[in-house]
Amino acid sequence: MNTTITQDEFAASDREGATISTILGSCVATCLWDPVAKVGGMNHILVAHTGTGATRSDLAGINAMELVINAMIRLGASRGNLRAKVFGGAKMISGLSDIGLGNGRFALDFLEREGIPCLGHSLGGTAARQIRFYPAEGRVLMRLVSAAPEVLRPTPRAEPRGNDVELF
C-alpha cells in the first residue's frame, strides 16, 4: 500500500512495506507509530490554530492528531506505546505571518502534553520537505525540496501608437 496524503488528510497502516507520503511547506506532518504492534500513521496539518486572541483555538490541530491516533488504535496500536517524528513548518513566503512556526510548536506541545515521545523533528527553515513514512517500521525518509523558481512578472506592454480609436 502506497498512500499519498495532502492538506488535512491522514492515513494509517499495519502493512509491512507500506508507505505514506506527503509534501510540506508551512504545513506540519506528524508521523506516529507503535513499535510493538508495528502500526503507524501520519497526518498533514494545514493550520493547527484557528482564530486570534481570545478566540484562538487548537481544535483543528487536536482533531488532526486524534484522528490519526484513533485510526492506529483501530489497527491494534496502544496509545502508551506511541512514538513520533514531526516535519514541516517552513516559512514559505517572506513578509507574511509565520504559520509554519505555530504549526510546528502545536505538534511538539501536543506530543509533550499527551506523553508521546518525539524522537526527532525537522521544523522551520524556508524549504519544502518531501516525506515518505514507513508506518510498520517507524522509519522516515525526508528530502528538502529546492525553492520554487521566482515568479516572473509579465513584460509591460508598449503604449499603443496611432489614432485615438480604442478597440475591445
pTM for the model: 0.81
Domain ranges of the chain: 2-145
| Cα–Cα distance measured from residue 134 to residue 123, given in angstroms and rounded to the nearest whole number | 20
Q: Yes or no: say if 84 and 77 are a contact pair by the CB < 8 Å rule.
A: no
Residue 28 to residue 13: CA distance in whole angstroms: 19
The CATH T-level fold of domain 2-145 is 60s Ribosomal Protein L30; Chain: A; (3.30.1330)
At residue 37, φ and ψ (nearest 5 deg) are: -80, -15
**Amino acid at residue number 128:** A
Q: From first to last of its 168 residues, what are the pLDDT tens digits of the chain?
A: 799 999 999 999 999 999 999 999 999 999 999 999 999 999 999 887 565 566 556 677 888 999 999 999 999 999 999 999 999 999 987 766 778 898 999 999 999 999 999 999 999 999 999 999 999 999 999 999 875 545 445 555 555 555 555 555
